[in-house]
Amino acid sequence: MNPLFNPVLFASVARSYLFDTDRVWRASREELERYRNKAFKRVVKHAFNVPLYYKKYRAVGIKLSDIDGIKDIGKLPVVSKDDFRNASLNDLLPVGSDKNGFSMVSTSGSTGKPVTLFTEPYTMFKTLIGFIRVIKEYGISWRKTRMSIIADLSAESAEEAYFTGTAIPSLKPIFSLDNMQTFHVGDDPEKILKEMERFNPEFIGGYPGTLKVLAILKNRGKGENVNPRWIGSSGAILDDYTRKYIEDAFDARVFDVYGATECSPIAFECRNGNYHIQSDLVNLEFVDKYNNPVSPGKPANIIVTRLFGKGTPVVRYSGISDLVVPSSRVCDCGMVTPLIEKIEGRKIDAIVLPNGKIIPPSSFTGIPYKVMRRFNTKKIEQFQIIQHDYGKIEILVVVDRREKKPRVDVLFDALKEAYEKVLG
C-alpha cells in the first residue's frame, strides 16, 4: 500500500514540505533556534523509548526531565558505530513497534562492517525535503527540471529505499516525475551517458567518483550532447581536482552536498560556495578525539544528532569518520544557518608523517589539478595516493596519452615537487 494514502502521514509530509523547505531562508536565527530546541526534545523523548538509548541513559542516570533543549545535549552519552553494530534489531526500534512498518537501511561499510538502522516513510520524505531545499538554492525544480540521478540502488541501501523502494515510487501516483531518470552507481558509465543523451538532463547528481568517470568519457568524445546546467556531487568527499575536472569537462557548475546514511543531508554549498549546515535537520558538535569542543577554524571530529525521524534515532552519534573545519563566518546568500569552512575527508584517508603530524586529504588531493592548470593540460585522468609506512608514500597516476604536452616526466617532476612541499 502507498504510505501516502494514509491521511495522517500525507498531512504530516505536506505540512513539512510547505513549512520546512524554506525555513533556512525565511526564519530568523531566534526562530530557527526555537525550532531546533523543540525538535531536539522530541527526538530525545523518542530515544528514551528505544532500548539502545534507554539502556545508555539509565546507565548514567539521565532522565527525560533533565533535558530542556540543545543546551543540555552534553548530558547525554555519545553513541558509536559499535553501539549500533552490537545492538540487536529489537534494541534499535521503539518498544512495542511492528518491524513491518519500518525498512532496514545500511551504510556502505567502506571503513569496515556496515551500520544498520531502521527508517520509515516520514523520515524518508523529510530527508527528501532536505534535498529539495538543496536544489532549490540553484533554481532547480524537483517537479519540472530534467534530472539524471546516479545512486546506490543496492538492496537495503538508503538510496534504494528512497528511489526504488518507498519514497519516490509513492510520489509517482500523485506527480508523474517523468522529469527524473535514475541509474545505479554500478551501471556501465558509457551506457549511462547514452541514456543521458536521449534524456537531455539539465541536472546530473551522483557520486564524485562516478561523475569523474563520466567526465573522462566526455573528454574522450563520448556524450557530446550531455550538457547539464548543474551537477550535484554527494556520497563521498569532493576534492578540488575532481571538482574542476568535472566542471571543465561538462562546462557546468558543480556543487557539493554533504551527508551520511545515518543522519541524511548534513550540509550543502550555497551559490556563494559556502557549506551551510542544515541545522534544522541536524545538530553538529565539533570535537577533538577526547570529545572536547573545538574552536572554529580547526579540524574537528563531528558528533551528529538528527532532529527528526521515528525509526532508529540518531542522537550524539560519533560514527561519521570525517574531519571537518567549523566556521564562525556569516554568509550573505540569505540563509541563516551556520557554516562549515571545509570538509577535510575521512580520518582514515589522512597521511601521518614521521613526526606525528596529520595531513588531511583536502591538503593533497587538489595538487594534480593545480599542476595541470600550471601546464594548461588535462593529461592526468586519475590518481591514487598510497602510504606504505611513515616514510614511504607512493603516488599512482593515469595519464591520457592523447595529450602530447607536457611530457610525462616533466609532469611527474612537477607533481613530485608539489607533493614534497606539502608532505616534506
Closest CA to 340 of 289, 231, 424, 265: 265
List Cβ neighbours of 87 (8 Å cut-off, separation of 6 or more).
51, 52
Characterise 334 by phi-psi region: left (phi > 0), alpha (psi -120 to 50), beta (else).
Answer: left
Domains parsed from the chain with CATH numbers: 3-348 (3.40.50.12780), 350-423 (3.30.70)
Per-residue confidence (pLDDT) for residue 358, from 0 to 100: 64
- Let me know if 346 is exposed, middle or buried by CB neighbors in 10 A (0-12, 13-18, 19+): middle
**Per-residue model confidence as pLDDT tens digits over 198-236:** 999 999 999 998 999 999 999 999 999 999 999 999 988
Confidence of residue 65 (pLDDT cuts 50, 70, 90): very high
**Per-residue model confidence as pLDDT tens digits over 4-16:** 999 999 999 999 9
175, 396, 419 from 385: Cα distances, Å: 46, 6, 11
**Per-residue model confidence as pLDDT tens digits over 140-156:** 999 999 999 999 888 77
Per-residue confidence (pLDDT) for residue 346, from 0 to 100: 65
Per-residue confidence (pLDDT) for residue 414, from 0 to 100: 87
**Is there a cis peptide before residue 7, judged by omega within 30 degrees of 0?**
no
Confidence of residue 56 (pLDDT cuts 50, 70, 90): very high
Per-residue confidence (pLDDT) for residue 99, from 0 to 100: 83
Average pLDDT of the residues in 102-131: 84
**Per-residue model confidence as pLDDT tens digits over 292-343:** 999 999 999 999 999 999 899 999 999 998 889 999 999 999 999 999 999 9
